[in-house]
Amino acid sequence: MDTNFPRMTGWKSGYDPAQVDSFFRRARESYNRDAPQPGDLDARAVRTVGFDLVRKGYHVGVVDAALDRLEDAFAKQARDRMVSQAGHDAWIQELTRAAGSLRGRLERATGERFNRTEKGEVGYDVGEVDDLCDRIHAYFTQGRPMSVDEVRRVLFRTRKGEAAYSEDQVDAFIDRVVEVMASVD
C-alpha cells in the first residue's frame, strides 16, 4: 500500500519511500487495533522515527507534517483508551504526573536547567533553550498560548562548552513536553 507522498525532484534527496511506506503501514495496523499489542507503534515511536535520505525520495516536509498528525492521533487514542478504561480522573492524574516531571527543569534558574557541554563539545545555545523553557513554563502555569508544533519545530543555534546545554538532555526534555502537550490538545 503506497502512501502517495510527493517525491523530491532532480538531485534532491528525500525520505526512502520503502521505509516510509513500511512505517506508515505498521502505524495504520497498530492504530486500527482495538487493543495495543506488544510491538505496536505509539506516539513516541512516531516522534522518534528516522528514515534514510535517498535521491528522489519522499518530500521531507510533507512526510514530517504527516508524522506530526499521526503522533497527535496516537496520543489522542492513548488518552481516549485510558479514559474509557480507567476514567477521566485517572487520565488527569497521569497528565498531572507527566507534567510534574517537567516542573523540576522548568523551575531551575536560568542557565542551570541542563548540563553544560564539555570544552570543545557542541550543544544547544543556553539562552535560546532557556527562552523556550520560560515559554513552556508559562504555558503550563499561566495558560499562555503555545502550540505543540512550536515545540516540535524549535531549532537552536549550536554553541560549544559553557555556552551550550547538552543536546541529549534538551532533546529528551522536549520529547516529554511534546508528549504531554499532544495528549492535551
**In a shared domain, residues 103 and 167:** yes
**In a shared domain, residues 25 and 50:** yes
**How many whole angstroms separate alpha carbon 125 and alpha carbon 3?**
37
Kindly give, in sequence order, each residue whose CB lies less than 8 Å from that of residue 79, ignoring residues fewer than 6 positions away. Answer: 91, 183
Q: Which residue has the higher pLDDT, 2 or 172?
A: 172
Name residue, grid cell 560549544: 160
The pLDDT score that the predictor gives to residue 1 is: 47
60 falls within a domain: yes
* Last residue in a domain, options 61, 85, 109: 85
The pLDDT score that the predictor gives to residue 91 is: 79
Model confidence at 3, pLDDT cuts 50, 70, 90, reads low
As given in the structure block, the three cell numbers for residue 56 are 528522489
Other CB atoms within 10 A of residue 147 CB:
11
Model confidence at 185, pLDDT cuts 50, 70, 90, reads low
**How many whole angstroms separate alpha carbon 17 and alpha carbon 60?**
11
Mean pLDDT for 162-172 is 92
pLDDT for residue 184 is more than 90: no
Q: Indicate the angle between helix axes 126-142 and 88-106, nearest 10 degrees.
A: 150
Burial, 50: exposed, middle or buried (Cβ in 10 Å; 0-12, 13-18, 19+)? exposed
**In a shared domain, residues 121 and 178:** yes
What is the per-residue pLDDT across 81-121, written as a single tens digit (0 to 9) for each? 888 888 888 878 887 787 777 888 999 999 999 999 999 89
Residues 137, 104 contacting (CB under 8 angstroms): no
**CA-based nearest residue to 1, from 25, 23, 17:** 25
The pLDDT score that the predictor gives to residue 2 is: 55
Residues 162, 120 contacting (CB under 8 angstroms): no
The pLDDT score that the predictor gives to residue 130 is: 97
As given in the structure block, the three cell numbers for residue 70 are 499521526
**How many whole angstroms separate alpha carbon 30 and alpha carbon 48?**
16
Q: Which domain holds residue 34?
A: 13-85
**In a shared domain, residues 161 and 100:** yes
Mean pLDDT for 30-38 is 88
**In a shared domain, residues 115 and 178:** yes
**In a shared domain, residues 166 and 101:** yes
What is the per-residue pLDDT across 13-29, written as a single tens digit (0 to 9) for each? 999 999 999 999 999 99
Range ranked top by mean pLDDT from 1-15, 37-51, 117-131: 117-131
Strands (E), 74-165: 122-125, 158-160, 164-165
What is the per-residue pLDDT across 41-88, written as a single tens digit (0 to 9) for each? 998 889 889 999 999 999 999 999 999 899 889 988 988 888 888 888
The pLDDT score that the predictor gives to residue 142 is: 87
**How many whole angstroms separate alpha carbon 50 and alpha carbon 63?**
11
**In a shared domain, residues 98 and 66:** no
As given in the structure block, the three cell numbers for residue 110 are 536560568
Residues 4, 35 contacting (CB under 8 angstroms): no
* Last residue in a domain, options 34, 54, 85: 85
